A = this chain, B = another copy of it.
Amino acid sequence: MTQIAILGAAGYTALELIRILLRHDDVEIVAVTDLHEGQPHVATIHPSLAGRIDLRVERLSPAEVAARAECVFCCLPHGVSASLVPHLLDAGARVVDFSADYRLADPEVFANWYNQKHADPDRLGKVPYGLPELFRDQIVGASLVANPGCFPTAAVLGLAPLLKAGMIEPRGIIVDSKTGVSGAGRTPRLTTHYPECNESMSAYNVGRHRHTPEIDQILGTAAGKPVEVIFSPHLVPMDRGILTTTYSQPVGDVNEEKVLQTLRDFYAEEPFVQVVDHFPGTKDTMGTNFCHVTARVVRDRVLTISCIDNLVKGASGAAVQNFNLMYGYDETAAL
């Protein structure tokens, strides 16, 4: 039994995390923090948890958190995590961090894309990136894991095996992603106000989205050489789900069956990646930790199409998968 604390309880990733952990036989949630006044019940903030969790939201210092919990899930904004995580680790806790703070290896790249100096730069490049399909060995037993971004997860799971196999060019890869609205978080804004984004679709942050350097970096690791993607996210009127379509140039003699077989081989032992022949829909993965992926070759371009639930495999499900690996539980427990 592992005692768990969750920092930053008000958002959708925290809600999804609690839902999953409530099904986990080997964990107990002992503390939940947020900035709310007056210590409301968690179920006051998330009415769907009524009768399912009996905890109040508290304001706690890292030391207080670490005194109660062995493992801390940080669902905090970028920048905030890096100011707290060192204290949590020093106090003996282990951490799964949802923010981008420990994903990028290079503090300068972080500074360029996040417009701030990194608060804990020495740790960068040494924290396992929490995508077990690529980095399982580093995650097992780790004390800090950087939980991946939702878009990078969908893009990397489609492309990394082909880059590793040298089947596609590392340059000029197009990553056209479509996401449900929960990816924008729980703070009301005009762009995510129901009558604005319902029945509408639009691109946003094209070429400027902060997941770009993360995709570059992880794919670069897979390719063994620099990768620069053209990444364009789109907002889709649905709660959850990411569908990512990638376009890349084949290297040498490539056909559809070879591409699919490369994916199948790569993921043969993976519990949460399904290589399918049909075109997957995001709903096929909704509420699950699965990624469904397929590929096509069209007019000498290699296409991959991958689907995940952005709140599960793209966030809280991956976090629990990482937690399971860190602590030696069955990797699929509660998932």
Contact = CB atoms under 8 A, between A and B. Distances in A.
A286 B247 contact: no
A187 B33 CA distance: 29
Contacts of A296: 206-207
A52 to B, nearest CB: 8
A197 interface: yes
A201 B239 contact: no
Interface in A194-249: 194-204, 206-207, 228-232, 234, 236-241, 243, 245, 247
Interface string A230-273: 11101011111101010100000000000000000000000000
Interface string A274-314: 10101111111111101010001011010101010000000
Interface of A: 12, 23, 47-48, 50-51, 172, 174, 176, 178, 180-182, 186-190, 192-204, 206-207, 228-232, 234, 236-241, 243, 245, 247, 274, 276, 278-288, 290, 292, 296, 298-299, 301, 303, 305, 307
21 contacts: A12-B195, A47-B284, A48-B284, A51-B274, A174-B301, A178-B178, A178-B234, A181-B195, A181-B198, A193-B193, A198-B239, A199-B199, A200-B284, A201-B236, A202-B307, A203-B279, A206-B296, A206-B298, A232-B303, A237-B237, A237-B238
